[in-house]
Amino acid sequence: MADSGYVYDLLRKLGFSEFAARTGELLLVRPLRIVLIVIVAALVARVGARAARRAVVSFRTRAPVSVSGGGAPSVRAEQRAATLGDVVSGVVRTVVWSIALLVVLDELGINLAPLIAGAGIAGLAFGFGAQSLVKDVISGLFMLLEDQYGVGDVVTLGEATGTVEDVTLRMTRLRGADGTVWFVPNGEIRRVGNSSMEWSRALIDVIVARDADLDAVRLAVLDEAHAFAATPEGSATVLEPPEVWGVQAYEDKGVRVRLLVKTAPRQQYLVARELRVRLMARLAAEGLGGPADAVLVTAGALDQGSPPPPPPAR
């Protein structure tokens, strides 16, 4: 017989029948081979998964560093590396165990040709039926790899704007300022606006009367902004000295003067609200009233409210 091994030949020489020798080889050799295959697959899967996770973690240096400027990787970089590491290690385990399963089936004498052909047809049908799912997963993988946004960021994804609460390979969950939860498939995201990556900016417009002393307005606004930046609350959130860009526009209701303050991530809305109150009181006290003797202080961009603090790193 062409299909014979050492144990089969040994049993035949010892006087066993062909059936007994073949049965002995089946009961003694094949189980040992299957056990060896499982042990090797477990070792390769563990080592490969660890190696893949370490390789992904090494990409943390490409992520934005912390605002403090210490050079340490940011929390989002660690979250991104952990997520990608889990995904890649899972893929490695799946590939290794799939190959091990095929080898075990071959050891059991099962013809793999029909099985592989059927799996190929099933995979092709699944691929056609799950194009959107595959698209979402691939887009999510690249989104995580490029670090476009992370949990806790305030982003705009198409028509949805809010704070990122969860990011998976398939979809992103946002919570709007009014509490609405948006589930956005990653494959449907064409443009991402992130207003809290590395640093943010509070944009405040002060509207005063057309006949107001614009130099006095500019000095008062700048002085009040610097005074806020010197407070304990301001020093913890304001990153650079505030800037007054001057007259932004002439309108029917008055003259628009713009103030910009660079802040820590996700702190622009809190800083803008505090400065609005301070500027209204300061300009009113100095007699620099706006239209109809009222000082109007608005936001230069849509205020999304105070986003909730980001969840702890997982």
Any idea what the CATH number is for the domain that residue 169 is in? 2.30.30.60
Residues 11 and 41 in one domain: yes
Q: 136 lies in a domain? A: no
Residue 150 backbone zone (phi > 0: left; psi -120 to 50: alpha; other: beta)? beta
Q: 215 lies in a domain? A: yes
Q: 167 lies in a domain? A: yes
For residues 102 and 118, give the distance between their C-alpha atoms in angstroms, rounded to a whole number: 14
Number of folded domains that form the chain: 3
pLDDT digits (tens, 9 = 90+) for 239-297: 889 988 888 888 777 888 889 999 888 888 889 889 988 988 888 888 876 654 455 55
Distances (CA, A) of 89 to 99, 142, 145, 208: 16, 16, 15, 60
Looking at 83, 101, 129, the residue that finishes a domain is: 129
- Which residue, chain included where needed, has tokens 């299909």? 3
Q: Are 250 and 210 in contact (CB under 8 A)?
A: yes
What is the CATH number for 253?
A: 3.30.70.100
- Which residue, chain included where needed, has tokens 């614009």? 214
Distances (CA, A) of 240 to 226, 266, 270: 10, 15, 16
Amino acid type, 27:
L
Whole-structure pTM value: 0.56
Looking at 102, 129, 156, the residue that finishes a domain is: 129
- Choose the most confident range, by mean pLDDT, from 79-83, 230-234, 303-307: 230-234
Q: 227 lies in a domain? A: yes
Q: 104 lies in a domain? A: yes
Q: 135 lies in a domain? A: no
Task: Evaluate if residue 166 carries a pLDDT over 80.
Answer: yes
pLDDT digits (tens, 9 = 90+) for 18-37: 777 777 666 677 788 888 88
pLDDT for res 39:
92
Range of the domain at 184: 148-194
Residues 152 and 172 in one domain: yes
Q: What angle do CA 120, 125, 126 make, to 5 degrees?
A: 95
